[in-house]
Amino acid sequence: MNLAYPGHILQVRAPAINFYVLRDQEELYLIDAGFIGGLRLMQRALVRRNWNQFPIRGIIVTHGHLDHILNVKTIARRYGAWIAAPRLDAEQYAGRSNYPGQARVAQWLETFGRPLLGFQRFTPDRLLDDGDMLDVWQGLQAVHLPGHTAGHLGLYSPERRLLFSGDLFVSYRGAARLPPDIFNSDPPQIPTSVAAALRLQLDGVLPNHCDPSPPAEHLRRLRLLGAKLASSPSRD
């Protein structure tokens, strides 16, 4: 158990990407579903927390990159969970990538990675748009934060003043940085998305690519990054 995180959040840590399990009373909900080995790592983490007794009711996807959705269909089928995912990334759930510019590198990686890693296509039970509310965990609001992908969403808890920020930024070794442009479908949009995230009432941020620091520390780093981006020339 990572004591940096509140008791109702379980961070499933992996070498390439982390994802989150939320406990809502006697039910569990995932924020993304991890990459290689994600199912096994999740099951071990649930046993350690003694949450394996609770049913997984839903999987909420932040965006359609393969490292976030590789295990979605497997987990949904195994646990009978529903899937909610951004409407604008529907191509990726169907097993297709069409990224522009430098992000064609990510497109190539996904094209070869899907069959190699056994990706299973899926159709979300609910497609999410900006402002949509999910009636879990005292309310989670979808916040459109495009740039990484067209449909990239953050998931905001007004009650807890926490933002699950997906891949809006990465947070390691004391600093927040933008993801490399080979993974961003529209890099010039990202500073605007960072500014939009920072306008929310926040006590903490939980990225998918980060060290084990507490949510308040990731927020501090994001604020520093936001200030730097605001003072920098346009990336256009």
pLDDT in tens, 30-48: 999 999 999 999 999 999 9
Q: Other CB atoms closer than 10 Å to residue 22's CB: what's the count?
A: 20
pLDDT at 3: 39
CB burial class (10 A; 0-12, 13-18, 19+) of residue 150? buried
Give the whole-number percent of the chain exceeding pLDDT 90.
93
Q: Which of 132, 136, 134, 135 minimizes the C-alpha distance to 144?
A: 132
- pTM, full prediction: 0.94
**Distance (Å, rounded) from C-alpha 137 to C-alpha 30?**
11
CA atoms within 13 A on the CB side of 203: 8
**Distance (Å, rounded) from C-alpha 66 to C-alpha 201?**
30
Sign of CA dihedral 60, 16, 149, 65: negative
pLDDT, one tens digit per residue, over 80-132 is 999 999 999 999 999 999 999 999 999 999 999 999 999 999 999 999 999 99
Give the whole-number percent of the chain exceeding pLDDT 70.
96
- Is the pLDDT score of 8 beyond 90? yes
Q: Categorize the per-residue pLDDT at 62 as very low, low, confident or very high, splitting at 50, 70 and 90.
A: very high
The residue assigned the tokens 């256009």 is 236
Tell me the CA distances in angstroms from 133 to 42, 104, 139, 194, one per residue in order.
25, 32, 6, 21
- Is the pLDDT score of 217 beyond 50? yes
Amino acid letter, 20: Y
Average pLDDT, the chain: 95
- Is the pLDDT score of 236 beyond 70? no
Q: Categorize the per-residue pLDDT at 169 as very low, low, confident or very high, splitting at 50, 70 and 90.
A: very high
| Structure token pair of residue 8 | 């109702």
Q: Categorize the per-residue pLDDT at 5 as very low, low, confident or very high, splitting at 50, 70 and 90.
A: low
Give the class (CATH, top level) of 9-230.
Answer: alpha beta
**Distance (Å, rounded) from C-alpha 53 to C-alpha 56?**
10
β-pair type (162-166, 56-60)? unpaired
**Distance (Å, rounded) from C-alpha 78 to C-alpha 111?**
25
pLDDT, one tens digit per residue, over 64-90 is 999 999 999 999 999 999 999 999 999
| Cβ neighbours for 109, distance < 8 A, ≥ 6 positions apart | 66
pLDDT at 115: 97
**Distance (Å, rounded) from C-alpha 147 to C-alpha 234?**
14
β-pair type (126-128, 133-134)? unpaired
Residues 127 and 135 sit within 8 Å (Cβ to Cβ): no
Q: Mean per-residue pLDDT for 187-214?
A: 97
- Is the pLDDT score of 6 beyond 80? no
pLDDT at 16: 80
